[in-house]
Amino acid sequence: MSTNMDGGGLGAELSQASEWVEHATLTAERQVYWRKGERHAEREIGTKTRALHVFVDTNDQRGAAVCYLEDRDGDRLRVKDALSAARLALNPIYRLPVGAVTFPTIQLGEELANGEVLASFGTELQARVRAMGATVSHLELFARQEDEEIAGSNGRVTRWRGTRYEMDLVLAAGPGDRFEHRLLRRARRLSELLPAGSLEEAVEVVRDRERAVLPPTGRVAVILPAAELSVLLEVMRARVSAEALYQKFFAHKVGDRLITPRQDSFSLAADALRPYAVASAPTDTSTVPAGRVSLIEDGVVVGLLADPQYGAYLGVPPTGPAGTLVWEAGHTAAADLLGDGPVLEVVAFSATMPNPATGDLAAEIKSGYLHEGGRRTPVAQGSVSGNVLEFLANCRASRETAAEPGFFGPARVRFEEVQVAGGS
């Protein structure tokens, strides 16, 4: 793959741009669908995308716009339109990075699994589930290979290849398969879709669902797994975004304390170099190489995620792709987080969507366990609510770690005094 912009006959149009970056992506994807154990659909899709970012400077202002090229008639007009759009959307000046740079080489995939491998993975998975006394009512497996290239008018060019896998798995159990539990997993390698023990744990959850009761209403300690923690961190990602701070979504600045820890300290970094991490990439679309950056240390903002535009506005260096948010693990064994009851261990919320502006969260409990008096009772429905910043100020993190898309950190975290709405 080559962007070959001049060869595409767009040199005249691009000469009117102060700067430009092209991001080309070629993907090949296989999709296999099962329903009640039967493979009922397969699809193969190819995609070629060429996104062209153009920048036009006028005096001390810069306009930017994006258009998508189609390798055929009309591309010249699309570029002209984008240039016109950029001239209408002027902002304070900033520039793309300059100078030669070596982009990091990151392991981002494997040889793409072919249809037979995917079919075999799905068939074996379903056999394992059946052997454990549950069924698979729905399974989708997607495998995608991506070839990407970023080329800028600043002379920076890099290419990379990666793979992505996605699994949507619905387990059923109980009388007439009355109850279900859903796993949506994403990974760079097929073998990482189901970490050791995760399928067994999911089957146990769906089998226990029949005995589930409403959790009691009140303020209790709540333990969340890594999959839910990763979503909670979106509240913090917003608070270390140079764009969000420049746009006054928040009133704090670098050096300000966001969290006053009452138990474990809270420290957060971003790492776009993690091998095989879903969020890793050698560069962003502004040709800034990937790296690692410390964002929060013991509750204090020490760094920001910035692209060249907002980095320039705030006087901070651009950081490249955001990558994986890394939450510093704690010192407590996960098993010891249970401590004294009652403790509500949430396996999954129905939908975890904290409000990034306010930090407030309210989510239905899809499945979980109440630990009290040495007993472990399955719970479902009811809800957990509160503010993520308040949660983080009063928590203990496990020393065991886990990886989720965009997240690496403690496998479990215990939050104290969390509001639960349930039964009496």
Partner 1 sequence: MNLLETTREQALAGQWLSRSRVRHLSIQAAASIAVTQSPPREGTVARVVQGGVQREWGVPGWHDWIQPATATEEFRWLGQTPVAGVSLADKIARVRDLQERVAASDPRIAQVMVVYDERLEEKRITTDCFDRSSEIARILFAVVVLVHDRGRTEQNLVLRGRVGGFEVTDLPEEEVREGIAAAVRMLDARPIEPGSYRVVSAPEVSGVLAHEAFGHGVEMDLFLSGRTRAAESMGERVGSPYASIVDDPTLAQGYAGYPFDDDGTLAARHVILDRGILRGGLADNEAARALSASGGNGRRQDYSRKVYPRMSNIFFTPGTATVDDLIAGVEEGVYLRQVESGMEDPKNWGLQVTVHSGEEIKNGALTGRLYRTMAMTGFVPDVLSSIDGVAADFVMWPGMCGKGHKEWCTSGTGGPHLRMTARLG
Residues 254 to 283 in contact with partner 1, rule: CB under 8 A: 254
**Least distance to partner 1 from the beta carbon of 265, Å?**
20
Q: Can residue 364 be called a binding residue for partner 1 (CB under 8 A)?
A: yes
Q: Which stretch binds partner 1 (CB under 8 A): 2-10, 85-93, 98-106, 151-159?
A: 85-93
**Least distance to partner 1 from the beta carbon of 17, Å?**
14
Q: Which is nearer to partner 1, 106 or 379 (CB)?
A: 379
Q: Can residue 86 be called a binding residue for partner 1 (CB under 8 A)?
A: yes
Q: Which is nearer to partner 1, 161 or 252 (CB)?
A: 252
The span from the CA of 297 to the CA of 401, in Å, is 19
Q: Which is nearer to partner 1, 72 or 262 (CB)?
A: 72
**Least distance to partner 1 from the beta carbon of 398, Å?**
25
The span from the CA of 153 to the CA of 168, in Å, is 40
- E strand segments, 338-374: 343-349, 360-372
Q: Which is nearer to partner 1, 185 or 399 (CB)?
A: 185
Q: Can residue 128 be called a binding residue for partner 1 (CB under 8 A)?
A: no
Q: Can residue 250 be called a binding residue for partner 1 (CB under 8 A)?
A: yes
**Least distance to partner 1 from the beta carbon of 67, Å?**
4
Neighbours of 219 (CB within 10 A): 11
**Least distance to partner 1 from the beta carbon of 354, Å?**
9
Do the strands 324-327 and 407-410 form a parallel or antiparallel pair, or are they unpaired? parallel
Among positions 80, 159, 182, 237, the unique one binding partner 1 when judged by CB under 8 A: 182
Give Dmax over CA atoms of the chain in angstroms: 76
Among positions 12, 43, 200, 331, the unique one binding partner 1 when judged by CB under 8 A: 43
- Among residue numbers 193 through 212, which ones bind partner 1 (CB under 8 A)? 209
Q: Which stretch binds partner 1 (CB under 8 A): 192-200, 269-277, 336-344, 379-387?
A: 379-387
Q: Can residue 213 be called a binding residue for partner 1 (CB under 8 A)?
A: no
Overall size of the chain counted in residues: 424
The helix (run of H) or strand (run of E) holding residue 379 is: strand 375-379
- Among residue numbers 382 through 411, which ones bind partner 1 (CB under 8 A)? 382-383, 385-386
What per-residue string of b and e applies to 253-290 under the rule 16 or more CB within 10 Å gives b?
Answer: ebeeebbeeeebebbbbbbbbbebbbbbbbbbbbbbbb
The span from the CA of 234 to the CA of 358, in Å, is 12
Q: 280 near 270, Cβ under 8 Å?
A: no
Q: 49 near 24, Cβ under 8 Å?
A: yes
Among positions 16, 25, 39, 157, the unique one binding partner 1 when judged by CB under 8 A: 39
Q: Is 174 left (phi over 0), alpha (psi -120 to 50) or beta?
A: left
The two structure tokens encoding residue 252: 């704090």
The helix (run of H) or strand (run of E) holding residue 126 is: helix 115-131
Q: Can residue 90 be called a binding residue for partner 1 (CB under 8 A)?
A: yes
**DSSP readout, 183-223?**
EEEEESSGGGSS-TTHHHHHHHHHHHGGG-BPPBSEEEEEE
The span from the CA of 134 to the CA of 127, in Å, is 10
Whether the bond into 104 is cis, omega within 30 of 0: no
- Among residue numbers 334 through 353, which ones bind partner 1 (CB under 8 A)? 350-351, 353
Q: Which is nearer to partner 1, 360 or 400 (CB)?
A: 360
Q: Which stretch binds partner 1 (CB under 8 A): 27-35, 260-268, 274-282, 329-337?
A: 27-35
Q: Can residue 165 be called a binding residue for partner 1 (CB under 8 A)?
A: no
Q: Can residue 11 be called a binding residue for partner 1 (CB under 8 A)?
A: no
Q: Can residue 41 be called a binding residue for partner 1 (CB under 8 A)?
A: yes
Q: Can residue 92 be called a binding residue for partner 1 (CB under 8 A)?
A: yes
The span from the CA of 48 to the CA of 158, in Å, is 17
Binding string, 291-330, against partner 1, x = CB under 8 A? ----------------------xxxx--------------
Among positions 168, 328, 372, 416, the unique one binding partner 1 when judged by CB under 8 A: 168
- Among residue numbers 45 through 84, which ones bind partner 1 (CB under 8 A)? 45-49, 51, 63-68, 70, 78, 81-82, 84
Among positions 110, 147, 149, 177, the unique one binding partner 1 when judged by CB under 8 A: 177
Neighbour-count burial of 422, counting CB atoms closer than 10 A to its CB (0-12 exposed, 13-18 middle, 19+ buried): buried
